Amino acid sequence: MDKKSPLNIIPDPRDQTETVTQWVYRTLRDAVMNGTVLPGRALTIRELAALLDVSAMPVREALRLLAAENALELLGNRRVIVPEMSAMKFAELCEARIALETHAAARAMPYIDSRRFDDLTELDARIDEAQAEGDLIKITQLNQQFHRTLYLANPHDITQPLIESLWLQLGPFMRLAMANLADHYIADRHKEALSAIAKSDAYALKMAITSDIRDGLAFAADPHLLQSFVIQSRQDTNA
């Protein structure tokens, strides 16, 4: 978690319907959510503007929006940083994810048609391929896409913005989860979710989503590992 480590932000092309500010916000939001911006990595408006080849104004506005979502913290010297994490806060974020996402999954299940089921199956296969390649960023992106595709089957869904707010706050810390994934992720919870959907079993689907989240963040169940992680993040932030 070097405060001066290179930023591996590779932005998608800007859509013609997007303003520069919207594009910068989307790019930086994705970078935080996918764990590209590591805990303790200080950012400056000048650095980000140069990286994205834009002026300071859209960067400043994008950072303000991300700070409002609790994804980043604005410092007084025109720098931004991932907010400090505590063990209790991490546990609360995990439990909030479970509460919201199991609700969203159960509500979405009646609306999942064969086409969306096929999309979910394909995404699960692509996640398996990314895991075999050891591509942590791709695993994270595809995993989010799987969950997003599932929950948004519900045309009346109102939880996705809340869920993505939690993903944002956890995103910078997911590298540790990914690094320890093989130690905890024994069962394929996405396949369990797909099986539950095929059987129209809402309870089994909620259990699969709960297990998926807990497995992905299983390192948080080890107080010593989580505490050492939080201490290291705090030291990097204050260095």
Which pLDDT score is estimated for 76?
Answer: 74
- Partners of residue 73 on adjacent β-strands: 81
Distance between CA atoms of residues 91 and 219, nearest Å: 11
Question: pLDDT (tens digit, 9 = 90+) per residue, 76-87?
Answer: 777 888 887 777
Residue 64 has pLDDT above 70, yes or no: yes
User: Does residue 66 surpass a pLDDT of 80?
Assistant: yes
State phi, psi for 39 to the nearest 5 degrees: -55, 135
Residue 211: C-alpha distances to residues 101, 117, 214, 217 (Å): 11, 20, 5, 10
Q: Which amino acid is at 95?
A: E
For tokens 């546990």, the residue is 91
Kind of pairing, strands 79-81 and 73-74?
A: antiparallel
pLDDT of residue 78: 73
pLDDT digits (tens, 9 = 90+) for 27-38: 999 999 988 887
User: What's the pLDDT at 1?
Assistant: 44
* Amino acid sitting at position 157: D
Nearest CA-CA partner of 179 in 42, 38, 8: 38
pLDDT of 107 over the 90 cut: yes
Q: What is the pLDDT of residues 5-57, one digit of tens each?
A: 667 788 889 988 999 999 999 999 999 998 888 777 788 899 999 999 999 99
CA distance 52 to 45: 11
- Report the pLDDT value the prediction gives residue 20, as an integer from 0 to 100: 96
Q: Which residues pair with 43 in a beta bridge?
A: 80
**Position 54, amino acid:** V
Q: What number of helices (H) and strands (E) belong to the chain? A: 12, 3
The pLDDT tens digits for 176-213 are 666 555 554 557 899 999 999 999 999 999 999 999 99
Supply the pTM of this predicted model: 0.84
